[in-house]
Amino acid sequence: MTSFRNAVAAAAALLLVSPAIAQTTRVSSNTGAQQENVVRIQIGVNLFFAGPTSESEEAQKLRDRAQRVVYEMAGHECDLLRDVLAKDCRLETINVNVNTNIRQYNQQQADGLNTNGTITMQVTLK
């Protein structure tokens, strides 16, 4: 399993020049009967991974890598929030969309995957 992960990492490193990242964060407070100092935080990320977009094994590895990056970000986000502003953090939802970007539609950008993710967490403020 470790050699498979190493192979995936090596393939991803060869395929990725560097993903472009955009991130937005939305914080909204809960109302009603819920506790004070509890807020919902939503983070949106947009990533581009250059590489194959066919149905090949390499393209599947790239799709897996694109999804994995968003999941890893979600896994790290509660730790970051605890360091900065939260006593407690709970992951509520993760949405990941991976779309093909083929050069014929956009001559400026290489073939690859546009990946959009939304991560929603509920935190109790310090």
- What's the pLDDT tens digit per position in 28-61? 554 544 567 899 999 999 999 999 888 899 999 9
Give the list of residues 6+ apart from residue 25 with CB closer than 8 angstroms, or none.
Answer: 41, 42, 43, 44
In whole angstroms, give the CA distance from residue 87 to residue 102: 44
Ordered by start, the domain boundaries in the chain are 2-125
Query: 121 pLDDT band (50/70/90 cuts)?
Result: very high
Give the list of residues 6+ apart from residue 103 with CB closer than 8 angstroms, or none.
Answer: 109, 110, 111
The residue type at 21: I
Q: What's this model's pTM, rounded to 2 decimal places?
A: 0.66
Please, are residues 109 and 122 in contact by the beta-carbon 8 Å criterion? Answer: no
